[in-house]
Amino acid sequence: MSNAIGMVEFTSIARGIYVADQMVKISNVEIITAASTCPGKYIAIVHGDVASVQDSVAIGERMAEDYLVDSLIIPNVSPAVFPAITGTTMPDRIQALGIIESFSLATMILAADAILKTADVQALELRLGNGIGGKAYFTFTGDVAAVETSIEAGKAVAEEKGLLVNAEVIASVSDRLIPCLF
């Protein structure tokens, strides 16, 4: 079962591409995304069964050498994280909006997973580094109470790592803002 996710972040794009290739050749994982991010970093995100993801990330960490920034493994990730990373989520309607921002890509994936597991909310987008100076943010929707509860869970993850930038809840989103969210 492909319920685990792993990520390795590199300071070198060239090393990142090389290592991402090795991560999928040596372990039975699939790439969710492998791409350059701002400011000139590279990430490889894979999914598969827990043991395969653990092997793949371990290979990535070892082969990254001095180019390793961060890594993560989430053994039982919320399935809603995958489409949020690839930007393929489209909820039926936007209710309250939660926005959380971090200095770390890995931390934001961990926070998004915690948010999605805390209350009945829907992921909108998990933006990882591109066009935002290497930061990351996650947007999601649900009723006001669910969004507020989930924001607290996400903040706890990011604050524990000392990498929270900000978090906001909009109880009633303007119809004129909604098209800008996608």
Give the pLDDT of the chain (182 residues) as one tens digit per residue.
568 999 999 999 999 999 999 999 999 999 999 999 888 899 999 999 999 999 999 999 999 999 999 999 999 999 888 888 877 677 778 899 999 999 989 999 999 999 999 999 999 999 888 778 889 999 999 999 999 999 999 999 999 988 999 999 999 989 888 888 77
Asked if 135 and 175 sit in the same domain, the reply is: yes
Distances (CA, A) of 158 to 14, 53, 98: 29, 23, 15
**In the structure encoding, which two tokens stand for residue 105, read together?**
């890509």
Closest CA to 110 of 141, 136, 143: 136
Into how many domains does the chain fold? 2
The last residue of a domain, from among 53, 74, 95: 74
Domain interval for residue 91 = 81-181
Asked if 96 and 54 sit in the same domain, the reply is: no
The answer to whether 134 and 39 are in contact (CB under 8 A) is: yes
The last residue of a domain, from among 28, 57, 74: 74
Q: Within 10 A of 177 (CB to CB), how many other CB atoms are there? A: 11
pTM: 0.87
